[in-house]
Amino acid sequence: MFPDAAIINQAAVTTIVLSGLALLAGVFFIRSGEREKHMRAMLTASALAALFLVLYLTRLALGYEKAYAGPEEWRTAYFALLISHVALATANLPLAVIPLGYAYKGLKAAGNLARVEQVAEAREAFAKHRAWVRWTVPVWLYVAVTGWIIYLILGRYGEVMGH
């Protein structure tokens, strides 16, 4: 049972790394004024993050979980990192879904990205989208980076529970 879960775990890590990279690409594209590329990068980041969540929950359902077994002097720092990661990962779901909804509403109102500035409802929806992502992007990046750090720590200092 655990070898399959270990493979699922590796796939989950790969998807969240790719999601983080797509997120960074999306930020770059929007700052460069490339709305179409931004939209595609963010949809890719969101799809990969959703796939990560499915894989992560599947791995947990299979009973594959690692516990920290590293140096005692690092334990408090590790658990502070883990707690902040879990709390913000939980908050990140609505923080990601809400701005996606506003972007969808704005795109639907405008008909296409080139018309966003010309349609009041689209401008309003994208203004709300931008307001939300000012919080979403830093939280998403923090969750992604701390997740990678936790993965590396548990790769070196983790023990599979139940073994």
Note whether 51 and 79 are same-domain residues: no
Residues 135, 96: Cα–Cα separation, whole Å: 9
- Considering the domain architecture, whether residues 59 and 2 belong to the same structural domain is answered as yes
> Is 80 found in the same domain as 150?
yes
What pLDDT is attached to residue 3? 59
Q: Same domain for 132 and 52?
A: no
Q: Which pLDDT belongs to residue 133?
A: 95
Range of the domain at 57: 1-64
Judge if 73 and 134 occupy the same domain. Answer: yes
**In the block, residue with structure tokens 């590396």:** 152
Note whether 109 and 162 are same-domain residues.
yes
Specify whether 123 is located in the same domain as 56: no
Q: 40, 64, 88: which is the final residue of a domain?
A: 64
Torsion angle of C-alpha atoms 7, 151, 137, 107, degrees rounded to 10: 0
**Same-domain status, 51 and 33:** yes
pLDDT at residue number 62: 86
> Which of 47, 64, 81 is at the close of a domain?
64
User: Are residues 93 and 23 both part of a single domain?
Assistant: no
Quote the number of domains for the chain.
Answer: 2
Average pLDDT by stretches of 10, the chain with 163 residues: 76 92 96 96 96 91 88 96 96 94 96 94 97 94 92 91 61
48 close to 22: Cβ distance less than 8 angstroms: yes
Do 133 and 148 lie in one domain? The reply is: yes
